[in-house]
Amino acid sequence: MKLHKRPPTRSRSPRAGSLVIVGTGLRAALQTTPESQHEISRAERLFYLISDPLSERWIKSLNPRAQSLTSCYARGRPRMAAYERMVERILAPVRSGRRVCVAFYGHPGVFVFPSHAAIRQARAEGFDARMIPGVSSEDCLFSELGLDPARSGCQSYEATDFLVYRRRFDPSSALILWQVGVVGNLNYGARPIRSGLRVLARRLARAYGRRHEVVLFEASVLPVLPSTIRSTTIEALPFTKITGGMTLFVPPRPHAPDSRGLRSLGLRPSDLVVVPECWRPAG
Amino acid sequence: MSEASKLVAFLLALQTSPIVSKRFDRNAKKEMERFGLAPATVRAVLAQDAAALWAILLTGSGGHIAVATGVRRRRHKPKEPEPAHIAAAVGTPKRGRRRKSKAREPHQVAAVVSAPPRGRRRKPVEPEPDQIAAVVIVPKTRRRRGKRT
């Protein structure tokens, strides 16, 4: 029997530059992991995209070489064009052999296009690139509304994507819609547009009914302010005060367990633990 | 040091320093005064007034600073301006007529000071902390676009 040796492969050692993408959480310094802080401090080039002056100052105190990526945005222009500019700006020092770190607020991989695009591009060019997780807005929503995705499952969509692709969803499971404040508007610096909210409300009303209660949520980024939790109904949604950064939580419709499903697992309805709903805001 | 910088320094210390946090829990007002915050800012923090706090933070980076002229008569003493003074200072529409020269971008912020800032009146500068009497969000105004024939 003839043994075939594997052909020798060229060792692909990563090139000199490297890229680390980190998340600062919603409240920088408080929600930033020690691992992310370490990467921010040791980076030769640090870029950041942060929503508040507080976090910006903290980042600069950790690494004075920090540069903001906000200048890549242009008011009224498509966000995608800004993201492409960001990727190019991030990769330029990586190509010249620097250890680059980019800090995004929240989780760097959740609703952040340039982070994924930069990692993909860096890896394709043979550089070492990785992402470190952070605390996202959804994490804050789970803890502040008392929502447990284990109870009825959880579906999560970007609001415009939800409408444009007519996503199929299960009303008996919790639904989270991101960026409802700017539904239907793809430009940077967009203000809430009521027509998009009306379309969204119509779509939700068909599945849940017009009187179904929904919650608008926005995690606070300042330590002295509570998060915004605004309860309303689907029919009142287009008339509710809303900001660009708000997330919509649609509680599930009550749903009885399937008897065939229970039988197939050898379970009885009394075996199921019914956890009381606690997403309702206090007061 | 601007009021926005002082507020940022205070909030950052509150997030990162256990000592500041403990002192804030014990006597919030006193702790904020240690950082030299203006009375209007202290009130905004205690009332958890998100709009006012954001306005103070953003006035440090491009927001408008308007002068409520009606309050000036009181010898620079910080005093809450009347709604009419605020409306006049930030250029909101009055009796259905919009003053074009004072029109602002929608939802911009304005820190209303009780005394005119240093320097020339038409060139806003950062007000002294004790001059900030109120912070308002300028309501949405429509701006004419293009030539109307």
Is the confidence at residue A282, as pLDDT, over 70? no
Which residue range(s) make up the domain with A113?
Answer: 18-131
Residue ending a domain, among B57, B75, B102, is B57
Question: Are B68 and B132 part of one and the same domain?
Answer: yes
Is the confidence at residue A209, as pLDDT, over 70? yes
Q: Per residue in A85-142, pLDDT tens? A: 999 999 999 999 999 999 999 999 998 999 999 999 999 999 999 999 999 999 999 9
Residues 6+ apart with CB under 8 A from B135: B40, B44, B51, B52, B55, B56, B59, B109, B110, B111, B112
Say yes or no for a CB contact (<8 Å) between A225 and B107.
no
Question: Are A122 and A145 part of one and the same domain?
Answer: no
Which residue range(s) make up the domain with B7?
Answer: 3-57
Q: Give residue A275's pLDDT band: very low, low, confident or very high (50, 70, 90).
A: low
The CATH code of the domain that includes A233 is 3.30.950.10
Question: Are A208 and A238 part of one and the same domain?
Answer: yes
Is the confidence at residue A14, as pLDDT, over 80? no
Question: Are B34 and B84 part of one and the same domain?
Answer: no
Please tell me the distance in Å from A268's CA to the nearest CA on chain B: 49
User: Picking from A2-11, A52-61, A240-249, B30-39, which range would have the lowest pLDDT averaged per residue?
Assistant: A2-11
Q: Per residue in B91-137, pLDDT tens? A: 554 444 445 554 444 444 555 655 554 555 445 455 555 556 666 65
Q: Is residue B77 part of a domain?
A: yes
Q: Give residue B146's pLDDT band: very low, low, confident or very high (50, 70, 90).
A: low
Say yes or no for a CB contact (<8 Å) between B48 and A224.
yes
Q: Is residue A195 part of a domain?
A: yes
Task: Read off the amino acid at residue B47.
Answer: A
Q: Is residue B149 part of a domain?
A: no
Beta strands in chain A, from DSSP E residues, in sequence order = 18-23, 45-49, 66-68, 99-104, 128-131, 154-158, 174-178, 213-218, 228-233, 247-250
Give the dihedral sign, CA B84/B88/B93/B97. Answer: positive
Question: Are B131 and B80 part of one and the same domain?
Answer: yes
Q: From CA A146, how far away is CA B43, in angstroms rounded?
A: 31
Q: Per residue in A184-201, pLDDT tens? A: 876 655 556 678 899 999
Q: Is residue A7 part of a domain?
A: no
Residues A55 and A85: beta-carbon distance below 8 Å: no
Question: Are A160 and A191 part of one and the same domain?
Answer: yes
ipTM value of the model? 0.72
A8 touches chain B (CB under 8 A): no
Give the dihedral sign, CA B50/B53/B58/B59. Answer: positive
Q: pTM for the full model?
A: 0.73
Question: Are B69 and B126 part of one and the same domain?
Answer: yes
Predicted pLDDT at A277: 60
Range list of H helices, chain B: 3-16, 18-26, 28-34, 39-46, 50-59, 83-90
Q: Is residue A11 part of a domain?
A: no
Q: Is residue A264 part of a domain?
A: no
A181 touches chain B (CB under 8 A): no
Q: Where in the sequence numbering do the catalytic residues of A fall? A: 79, 83, 105
User: Picking from A50-54, A106-110, A261-265, B127-131, which range would have the lowest pLDDT averaged per residue?
Assistant: B127-131
Question: Are A192 and A163 part of one and the same domain?
Answer: yes
Chain B residues inside the 8 Å CB shell of A223: 11, 14-15
Question: Are B104 and B74 part of one and the same domain?
Answer: yes
Pairing mode, strands B64-67 and B132-137: unpaired
Residues A208 and A253: beta-carbon distance below 8 Å: yes
Q: Per residue in A211-256, pLDDT tens? A: 999 999 999 888 899 999 999 999 999 988 888 788 999 999 887 7
Q: Is residue A101 part of a domain?
A: yes
Q: Is residue A4 part of a domain?
A: no
Q: From CA A185, how far away is CA B145, in angstroms rounded?
A: 21
∠ Cα A81 A82 A84 (to 5°)? 65
Q: Is residue B144 part of a domain?
A: no
Question: Are A198 and A100 part of one and the same domain?
Answer: no
Residues A74 and A108: beta-carbon distance below 8 Å: no
Chain B residues inside the 8 Å CB shell of A52: 57
Is the confidence at residue A165, as pLDDT, over 70? yes
The CATH code of the domain that includes A41 is 3.40.1010.10
Residue ending a domain, among A83, A98, A131, is A131
Q: Is residue A265 part of a domain?
A: no
Question: Are B87 and B133 part of one and the same domain?
Answer: yes
Locate A211 and state its tokens.
């009187």
- From the candidates A27, A37, A54, A229, which should be mutated to test the interface with B, based on the most B CB atoms within 10 A? A54
Q: From CA B16, how far away is CA A57, in angstroms rounded?
A: 12
Q: Is residue A142 part of a domain?
A: yes
Give the A:B interface size as CB pairs under 8 Å.
43
* Type and span of the H or E element at A41: helix A34-42
Locate B61 and state its tokens.
């980076």
Question: Are B41 and B69 part of one and the same domain?
Answer: no
Q: Is A30 exposed, middle or buried (0-12, 13-18, 19+ CB in 10 A)?
A: middle
Q: Is residue B148 part of a domain?
A: no
Q: What is the mean pLDDT of residues A59-86?
A: 87
Please tell me the distance in Å from A88's CA to the nearest CA on chain B: 27
Residues 6+ apart with CB under 8 A from B73: none
Q: Is residue B96 part of a domain?
A: yes
Residue ending a domain, among B57, B73, B100, is B57
Q: Per residue in B57-71, pLDDT tens? A: 766 533 455 555 444
Based on the structure, what is the number of domains in chain A? 2
Question: Are A207 and A108 part of one and the same domain?
Answer: no
A52 touches chain B (CB under 8 A): yes
Based on the structure, what is the number of domains in chain B? 2
Locate B56 and state its tokens.
């103070």
Calculate the average pLDDT of chain A: 86
Question: Are A120 and A209 part of one and the same domain?
Answer: no
Residue ending a domain, among A113, A131, A149, is A131
